[in-house]
Structure 1
Amino acid sequence: MTGIDLCVREASWKTGQGRTILDPVSFELPAGEVLGIAGANGAGKSTLLRLLYRFLKPHTGTLLVDGRDLWHLSAREAARTIAAVLQEQPTDFALSVREIVVLGRRPHANGIANAGKRDAEIVDDCLRKMDLHSYADRSFGTLSGGERQRVMVARALAQEPKLLVLDEPTNHLDIRHQLEIVELISDLNITIVTSLHDLNLASRVCDKVLLLHEGRLVAHGAPETVLTPGNIEQAYSVQVRLEQLSASRERYLTFHL
């Protein structure tokens, strides 16, 4: 898998009643980089992600993938280019874990006889990456929230996307699997946009961070330039202190009301 360049130009979104949820926002993300979108609840994070995976059409502006307007792609081509993993997962799928991951291969179906073997290899690889081989024959509806999250990440990876959109990918996960998701994000050679509540995690795994407040852009750039006490206080209405661990010299943000 290889990534694509993403360019968002003055993209905004309003409700049918005309209420602005996301003011015009612009940014560029080079192929293979990871962008973290941060902000308090109601900041517009999920709305921006929905524009990126073509669930919502922007009220203004354009979204370009490798220089092509996202809305000029066919549905099949878009599905081959972009995969999304959402926070809330369905619980009523009457399918096994493997069958759900196999669904990620549908955009690539082309009737070639040997495609079945390659599809099976890709599915097995995605199950392995997400530590799901022992769950392959389990019914999706019997899984915990964290297990379902990992299945949906595996299905997204099976699409072989060039842009992966993740809405709070560590939601519902225990510490071990949170770390696995972080390592996966770091290792994938694709373009990734993810919303994250954990700003220290965003600082660790993201090449760029985009900070929103009430639908408006606060800052965008490298984590060390965006995740400053002043910007965070503006976005979250909390006091922030920047600390450094003497052994590792890593920076950690602590928050106070």
Structure 2
Amino acid sequence: MRILLSPSETKSVGGSGVPLDLAGLSLPSLTATRRTVADALVAVCTGDPGEAQRLLGLSDALSGEVTLDAELWTSPTAPALSRYTGVLYDALDQASFTKATRARAEARLWIGSALFGLVAAADPIPHYRLSAGTQLPGLGTLRATWRTALTDAVAEWAEELVLDLRSGGYHQLGPVPGAVTVDVVTEYPDGTRKVVSHFSKHHKGLLARTLATSRAELSDLGSLLRVARRAGHAIERTSDTVLTLVTEP
């Protein structure tokens, strides 16, 4: 089973790993596209920091992110699972993993990225700032840049169960045919339901933790639902490719 997560705008800084080596990342067929995007990002951040700040949608308080992007090729790396922070990753709580649960999580978790397309949980990456909606000089939209390469790269997953928890913008960078998605809704006492927006990240993080660390063999929707429900998640099978996670108000 593979579980795809959204990245986060916020990331840890620093790390103890050697500088970025694109050839060492998972899904090596994406190396050329990763280099194209990385070179375009570094070029604008080194050549015109003010324009880079505008393109990246950064406030003056966050202008230091431009400098960090400019140092992309020389800054230290950390495992992707440790690099990303924020609501989803707080719920995932990777810092509490045991050696065994971390091994299972690293085998199952993947993280979407506007810079790298997709990275495995253990892939070493530097701090960076780039969102799916950014358009870099010399490139079209990142959706156009990534879509074919990324969908082709994951074609080998066709026979596997893939749970795609990425948000809309990152899902559009490279849809995975046949992947299962999850809608998060709140159910009120009168039975009405409302789609959850911001806190969707929290609930998806909790679900991802349950599934990523489970000792069960998760090869189909039936086994996924059993494990999730045993852990207390109120989850429904809406269709063969859509699940609904029901939360309380």
**TM more than 0.5:** no
TM-score by length of 2: 0.27
TM-score by length of 1: 0.26
User: Which structure has the highest helix share of the two?
Assistant: 2
Higher strand share: 1
